[in-house]
Amino acid sequence: MPDKVKSLSAFHIDSDELGVYAKVSVDPLLYGLASILKTAYWFTDQCYVYLANRAPFIEVEFRLKQGDSEDLLTQCCGQFLNNLLDQSVRQVVLGETAGIRDALIKKAFFDAKAAISQLVIADESNRPTGSQSYKDDPLNISGRR
Amino acid sequence: MANTQFFPLEYFANKPAPYSLLPFRFDRWPDGSYLIVSDAGEYEFLPSEIFTTFVNHQLSPSSPHYAKFKAKHFLTDGSSSALLDELASKYRTKKSFLDGFTKLHIFVTTLRCNQSCPYCQVSRQNEDAGAFDMSDESMYRSVDLMLQSPSQSLTMEFQGGEPLLNFELFQKAVLYAKERNLKIGKNIQYVICTNLAPLENKHLDFFKEHEILISTSLDGPDFLHNKNRPLGKGPSHDVVTANIWKAKEALGRNSISALMTTTRESLKYPKEIIDEYLRMELDSIFYRDLNPYGFAIKTSSVIGYSTPEFLNFYKKSLEYIIQINRDGRTFSEALTSMILSKILTPWPIGFVDMQSPSGAGIGVVVYNYDGDVYASDESRMLAEMGQHVFRMGNVHENDYAEIFFGETMQNIASASCNEALAGCSDCAYQPYCGADPVRHFSTQGDIYGNRPTSGYCKKNMGAIKHVFDLLIHSDKDLERIFWAWVNREDVNHLRLPDPAWLSS
């Protein structure tokens, strides 16, 4: 009789003195650590989430904040794995476009320069008199770059 | 010459062109389709197979999606810097609310109030508690600070307590601002947030003379409004509605608007609330959920509700409002109109609660009755609860630079950009949403906030997704209604371009 085929995600559900928990193992080389962390983050509303490095895999452990429904935990693990796929694609897009996003924001706000302080403008004593020239620059405005 | 072998023509036809992806975020919808959103807020819904083809750089230039993606800056197949210029221009336009820095200046002229609303966020004081009035000197200094704002256009808003209980100071403040502004030449709009209960003819005369707009509160029909907003120990609905009519008659229909605060009791009456607004000939309603400040925290077990309950109420109400518009009466919902503006137009909206960087300190500032300056209305509400985290300074102790560029403002700014917040940075709805460090500090004890458990996130994402859902399933009639709301036009007069003309 052939060996029973094991789940590729190494899904596992069990209990200990803290209650019921579920675990899945994922390959960080395939998904990327950032994707795993970002996906796990969104499960912190209904679960306590624990991650462990069990090389070559990352093990993700879920415990429900309320109740001990095994069905709910199973759903969490399934949802986690699907969300992980989407998050991995997000990381790919982010990797491909991060440079251009930085360039875009720099370009968008390139013209924004620090204005001369309103206090300087508002203070009438700073206005040049008839005997002064802008070249005198007593407030060293030209030096503020 | 050797025989040169060429690939046949078919080999080149429909071959994916080398293109680069431009920045976008996405979300997978329950039906399996994908929503992609650019940094400038432009969007497309795609079937999953097109999405996969697109992100794998396999989209053919002959695909109808290709030209659309290129036009909306989801991909580029050239190296022209003009494209980046155009995209940067779109992005800058979306962020143009930053031009001029702080525009909304709120003056808390008194904490005294004649009402005893259970959801009061500002920890009101009794009507005779004069110690909670702003002094003349604090007011003058506050106006001077306001006029130092770089923005050419300002809104000077009076809040309380009930600002009409300190009418003398309100008058002085408007007149002083006007006099000082003669030399400065800014455009200043004046708004008073009042429950209208103490309204007298002398108030209306002053409002008319100085073009002051009124923002009031109307929570629905008498049984609901009276429960939510008692006047002393008695009802307030009759007084408020009578004074809304009076103000409309004296100042014009568009000089008064109303806010509605949602309590647990309100959730039962979505239609009745809207019918009351229609009866009062108001043109829009703004559903506000309870804020986690002041008395609203103490009474939350009685009047509070969950975010899904609020969203369910919002959706039901919106359905009814849409039907009213389909029947020919122009009546809009403010949150929906703002979300639609963000989705459908290149422009930002001036709503400080839903922008990134957050409006706290950058878009709005509050001069409290005691001279303290806060980053937002909610910041001073926290201060009344003993939390002075968002106190930017004091008008008697600090100058403009110390207040607006001091340590408090630096801290707020660090948590103000949803582009850089955990959970938000990858969110497809980020360009339409905002950051709210003050609310997150209040509800989670952390200015950065935890998105998975954030009510702010759940509410905004729920509302934005619902608006998208309505948009993608809209017929021509609903599309026309939405554009009328965005453009503030009459639904019966707005005409959309003929799609046949557009596609020709």
Confidence of residue B459 (pLDDT cuts 50, 70, 90): very high
Q: Is the pLDDT score of A62 beyond 70?
A: yes
What digits encode the pLDDT tens for the residues B356-395? 999 998 999 999 999 999 999 889 888 888 889 999 999 9
What digits encode the pLDDT tens for the residues B133-163? 999 999 999 999 999 999 999 999 999 889 9
Q: What is the pLDDT of residue B424?
A: 96
Q: What is the pLDDT of residue B217?
A: 93
Residue type, B406: G
What digits encode the pLDDT tens for the residues B242-254? 999 999 999 998 8
Q: What is the pLDDT of residue A118?
A: 53
Q: Measured between CA atoms, how close is A66 to chain B, in angstroms? A: 14
- DSSP annotation string for B391-460: EEEETTT--HHHHHSSHHHHHHHHT--GGGSTTTTT-TTGGG----HHHHHHHHS-SS--GGG-HHHHHH
Please check whether residue B99 is in contact with residue B59, taking contact to mean a CB–CB distance below 8 angstroms.
no
Confidence of residue B130 (pLDDT cuts 50, 70, 90): low
Helix boundaries (H) for B78-163? 81-94, 136-147
Which of A108-112, B293-297, B320-324, B401-405 has the highest average model confidence (pLDDT)? B320-324
Q: Is the pLDDT score of B474 beyond 50?
A: yes
Q: Which residue of A has its CA nearest to B454?
A: A45
Structure-token match 């917040």, residue found: B421
Q: Is the pLDDT score of B412 beyond 60?
A: yes
Contact (CB<8Å) B422/A117: no
Q: Is the model more confident about A79 or about B2?
A: A79
Q: What is the pLDDT of residue B234?
A: 80
Average pLDDT over residues B480-485: 95
Contact (CB<8Å) A43/B452: yes
Q: What is the pLDDT of residue B300?
A: 73
Structure-token match 């609901």, residue found: B224
- As given in the structure block, the two tokens for residue A63 are 């415990």
CA torsion A82-A87-A93-A94 (nearest 10°) is 180
Average pLDDT over residues A30-56: 96
Using an 8 Å CB-CB cutoff, list chain A residues near B450: 44
Contact (CB<8Å) A118/B150: yes
Confidence of residue B286 (pLDDT cuts 50, 70, 90): very high
- As given in the structure block, the two tokens for residue B234 are 């008695």
Q: What is the pLDDT of residue A86?
A: 95
B residues 461-500 lying closer than 8 A (beta carbon) to A: none
C-alpha to C-alpha distance for B368 and B376, rounded to whole angstroms: 10
Q: What is the pLDDT of residue B296?
A: 62
C-alpha to C-alpha distance for A99 and A96, rounded to whole angstroms: 8
Using an 8 Å CB-CB cutoff, list chain A residues near B307: none
Please check whether residue B492 is in contact with residue B481, taking contact to mean a CB–CB distance below 8 angstroms.
no
Contact (CB<8Å) B423/A41: yes
C-alpha to C-alpha distance for A85 and A129, rounded to whole angstroms: 68
Contact (CB<8Å) B452/A100: no
Residue B360 DSSP one-character state = B
Q: Is the pLDDT score of B504 beyond 50?
A: no
Average pLDDT over residues B263-291: 94
ipTM over 0.90: no
* Whole-number Cα distances in Å, B326 to B280, B315, B332, B338, B478: 20, 16, 12, 20, 8
Which of A46-60, A97-111, B85-99 has the highest average model confidence (pLDDT)? A46-60
Share of chain B above pLDDT 70, in %: 92
Q: Which residue of A has its CA nearest to B151?
A: A118
Residue type, B4: T
What digits encode the pLDDT tens for the residues A94-145? 999 999 898 888 888 775 544 545 554 555 566 556 666 666 776 676 666 4
Please check whether residue B418 is in contact with residue B435, taking contact to mean a CB–CB distance below 8 angstroms.
yes
Q: What is the pLDDT of residue B367?
A: 97
Q: Which residue of B has its CA nearest to A101?
A: B23
Contact (CB<8Å) B92/A109: yes
C-alpha to C-alpha distance for B311 and B306, rounded to whole angstroms: 9
Please check whether residue B27 is in contact with residue B35, taking contact to mean a CB–CB distance below 8 angstroms.
yes
Q: Is the model more confident about B119 or about B316?
A: B316
Q: Which of B209, B337, B336, B316 is nearest to B273 (CA)?
A: B316
In the sheet with B34-38, reading across from the earlier edge strand, the strands are: B24-28, B34-38, B43-46
Contact (CB<8Å) B92/A108: yes
Q: What is the pLDDT of residue B499?
A: 55
Q: Measured between CA atoms, how close is B266 to chain A, in angstroms? A: 27
Q: Measured between CA atoms, how close is B101 to chain A, in angstroms? A: 12
Using an 8 Å CB-CB cutoff, list chain A residues near B444: none
Q: What is the pTM of this model?
A: 0.88
Interface test with A, best of B92, B99, B398 (most A CBs within 10 A): B92
C-alpha to C-alpha distance for B198 and B38, rounded to whole angstroms: 49
Q: Measured between CA atoms, how close is B162 to chain A, in angstroms? A: 33
Q: What is the pLDDT of residue A84?
A: 96
Q: Which residue of A has its CA nearest to B55?
A: A93
Contact (CB<8Å) B452/A96: no
Using an 8 Å CB-CB cutoff, list chain A residues near B89: 108
Q: Which of B103, B119, B106 is nearest to B154 (CA)?
A: B103
Q: What is the pLDDT of residue B503?
A: 47
- As given in the structure block, the two tokens for residue B383 are 């201060």
C-alpha to C-alpha distance for B251 and B239, rounded to whole angstroms: 18
Identity of the residue in A86, A97, A109 whose CB atom sits nearest the CB atom of B28 = A86
Residue contacts between A and B (CB atoms, under 8 Å): 71
Q: What is the pLDDT of residue A38?
A: 97
Q: Measured between CA atoms, how close is B21 to chain A, in angstroms? A: 6
Distance from the Cα of residue B194 to its chain's centroid: 20
Average pLDDT over residues A85-97: 95
What digits encode the pLDDT tens for the residues B153-192? 999 999 988 999 999 999 999 999 999 999 999 999 999 9
What digits encode the pLDDT tens for the residues B62-86? 999 999 999 999 999 875 667 888 8
Contact (CB<8Å) B87/A101: no
Q: Where are the beta strands (DSSP E) in B5-123?
A: 20-21, 24-28, 34-38, 43-46, 75-76, 104-108
Interface test with B, best of A91, A100, A109 (most B CBs within 10 A): A100
Backbone phi and psi for residue B295, each to the nearest 5 degrees, phi listed first:
-65, -25
Share of chain B above pLDDT 90, in %: 75
